[in-house]
């Protein structure tokens, strides 16, 4: 699976073919033609600390804006743009299949008429979590849009541990056009089973189908 920085670099190379040179792109986004930023990304230059220079969210959005590209274009894998109809059909079928929750480990999310200052961490019965309706209404969530998932692995970056109940808002929409936060994605696994992965809005995994934004994580000891 490609990560977002790899996708952005590949799309930068695609733009070089279209625009003629890195210098032309640098000029188009308001930098000097000799600015080293894009070249460092192209050659995967390392900093003195040994970290590879990658394209961040701000630069990706700037390139899209200045080159009149659709929002999120730099974050999308365009390797299949020239694919055959058969290859495109196979990809669509995989993505459609992964929209179901049938393979993802789930838990129960229920609702009460409890006090609005209640936090879901205060009332959990593994594997379930209970929300007061007023708590949800105060935050603009609809009960029908909430889905409970059970984390299958530790994700230290997002403070998620294996076995945690992760509640997502399935009405959050496309993370590339949504609010900042952590989103859940369904990925078709090689064994035919769907897997859930979590990523920030600017790190959407290639081939992943967004299924919701994380609103709470409940842990059991």
Buried b (16+ CB within 10 A) or exposed e, 18-39: eeeebbebbbebebeeebebbe
73 and 158 housed in the same domain? no
Query: pTM of this prediction?
Result: 0.49
123 and 176 housed in the same domain? yes
Classify residue 96: in a domain, yes or no.
no
144-180 confidence digits (pLDDT tens): 888 888 887 777 778 887 778 888 888 886 676 667 7
Distance CA 206, CA 183 (A): 14
pLDDT of 24 strictly over 90: yes
54 and 153 housed in the same domain? no
110 and 41 housed in the same domain? no
193 and 137 housed in the same domain? yes
Tokens of 195: 């897997």
């Amino acid at each position: 699976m490609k990560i977002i920085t790899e996708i952005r670099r590949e799309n930068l190379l695609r733009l070089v073919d279209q625009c003629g040179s890195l210098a032309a792109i640098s000029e188009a986004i308001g930098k000097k033609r000799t600015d080293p930023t894009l070249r460092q990304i192209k050659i995967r230059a390392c900093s003195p600390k040994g970290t590879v220079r990658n394209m961040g969210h701000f630069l990706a959005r700037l390139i899209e804006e200045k080159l009149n590209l659709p929002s999120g274009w730099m974050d999308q894998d365009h390797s299949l743009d020239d694919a055959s109809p058969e290859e495109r059909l196979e990809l669509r079928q995989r993505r459609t299949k992964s929209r179901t929750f049938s393979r993802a480990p789930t838990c129960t999310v229920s609702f009460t008429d409890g006090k609005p200052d209640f936090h879901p961490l205060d009332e959990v019965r593994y594997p379930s979590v209970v929300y007061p309706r007023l708590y949800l209404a105060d935050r603009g969530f609809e009960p029908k849009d909430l889905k409970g998932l059970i984390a299958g692995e530790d994700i230290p970056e997002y403070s998620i541990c294996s076995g945690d109940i992760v509640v997502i808002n399935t009405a959050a929409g496309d993370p590339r056009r949504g609010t900042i936060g952590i989103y859940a994605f369904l990925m078709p696994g090689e064994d035919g089973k769907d897997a859930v992965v979590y990523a920030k809005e600017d790190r959407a995994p290639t081939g992943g189908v967004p299924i919701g934004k994380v609103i709470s994580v409940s842990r059991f000891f």
